[in-house]
Amino acid sequence: MKISMIKELLEADVVCGEELLGNHVYSACGSDMMSDVLAFVKDQAVLLTGLVNSQVIRTAEMMDMVCIVLVRSKLPTPEMIELAKESGIVLLSSKKRMYDACGILYTNGLVGNKLKS
């Protein structure tokens, strides 16, 4: 699924990375616990979270994620925006709650991924 489709489906605003909206993601992970995200298989994926700190960007970068959606109208810190720009990660903000956002993406064909064994 293209990141531009995620933006549309979740009625999200682009915080940074607008030039990367044509990139694809192949799976999604929704969590506010970065330790759970680290258990996720590395892949070009999107992370949905309500957590707003620089660790979100660092974790996404380690896991080769290309897009982060901040749910519940959360807005990133300036440090998060700068790190996302440096890492080439698209940063979106949506008013949707995480449960709804994950459900919308899932019903439109974006699947979850396996956990590391």
pLDDT higher than threshold 60 for residue 112: yes
Distance CA 20, CA 41 (A): 22
Q: Which stretches of the chain are DSSP H helices? A: 3-9, 34-38, 54-62, 78-87, 98-107
Domains present along the chain, CATH in parentheses: 3-107 (3.40.1390.20)
- Name the residue type at position 96: K
Exposure on the CB side of residue 38, measured as CA atoms within 13 A: 7
| pLDDT tens readout for residues 58-70 | 999 999 899 999 9
pLDDT higher than threshold 80 for residue 30: yes
The angle, 0 to 180 degrees and rounded to 10, between the axes of the packed helices 78-87 and 54-62 is 20
| pLDDT tens readout for residues 62-110 | 998 999 999 999 999 999 999 999 999 999 999 999 999 999 999 999 9
- Radius of gyration of the chain from Cα atoms? 12
Return the SS3 of 45.
Answer: strand
Over residues 45-62, mean pLDDT = 95
